[in-house]
Amino acid sequence: MAHTYDVAVVGGGPAGSTCAAFCAESGLKTLLLEKAIFPREKVCGDCLNPGCRPILDRLGLTEGVLTLPHSKLAEVEFIGLRGQSAKFALNANEHGEIAVKRSQFDHLLLQHAGECGAEIRQNAAVTSIERGWRIRVGDECISAKKVVAADGRNSTVARLLGLLPSSKKDRVALQTHLPLPRDFGNRVVLRFLPDGYCGMSSVGNDQLNLCLVGKPHHIDALKKWAEAQFAIAPDHSWRTITPLARRAIAPAHENLFFIGDAARVVEPFTGEGIYYALASGELAARHLIAHSPPADYAREHALLYRDRLWVNEIAKRAVMQPRLGSLTLDLLRLNPAVLRFLTGKIVGNALR
Ligand SMILES: Cc1cc2nc3c(=O)[nH]c(=O)nc-3n(C[C@H](O)[C@H](O)[C@H](O)COP(=O)(O)OP(=O)(O)OC[C@H]3O[C@@H](n4cnc5c(N)ncnc54)[C@H](O)[C@@H]3O)c2cc1C
**Beta bridge partners of residue 197, listed in sequence order:** 192, 213
Cα 335 to ligand 1 centroid, rounded to whole Å: 35
Overall average pLDDT of the 133-142 stretch: 97
Evaluate if residue 137 carries a pLDDT over 80.
yes
* Distance linking the first and last C-alpha atoms of the chain: 59
DSSP string, 316-346: HHHHHSHHHHHHHHHHHHHSHHHHHHHHHHH
Pairwise CA distance, residues 63 & 108, whole Å: 11
Beta bridge partners of 90: 351
The number of angstroms, rounded, from the C-alpha of 312 to the middle of its chain's C-alpha atoms is 13
- What is the model's pLDDT at position 292? 96
User: How large is the average pLDDT for residues 331-338?
Assistant: 94
Q: Is the CB of 260 under 6 A from ligand 1?
A: yes
CB 47 within 8 A of CB 188: yes
Q: Would you state the CATH architecture of domain 4-44+101-166+245-311? A: 3-Layer(bba) Sandwich (3.50)
Residue 166 confidence (pLDDT): 87
What is the DSSP-derived secondary structure letter of residue 186?
S
Q: Is 51 in the pocket of ligand 1 (CB under 6 A)?
A: no
Cα 42 to averaged position of ligand 1 atoms, centre (Å): 7
Q: How far does the centroid of ligand 1 lie from the alpha carbon of residue 260, in Å?
A: 8
The overall average pLDDT reported for the chain is 96
Instruction: Name the residue ranges covered by the structural domains of the chain.
Output: 4-44+101-166+245-311
> Is 0.75 topped by the overall pTM?
yes
CA dist 196 and 319 (Å) reads: 7
pLDDT tens for residues 267-325? 999 999 999 999 999 999 999 999 999 999 999 999 999 989 999 999 999 999 999 99
Task: Write the pLDDT tens digit of every residue in 1-23.
Answer: 467 999 999 999 999 999 999 99
Query: Is 241 close to ligand 1, i.e. is its CB under 6 Å away?
Result: yes
For ligand 1, say whether the CB of 45 is within 6 Å of any of its atoms.
yes
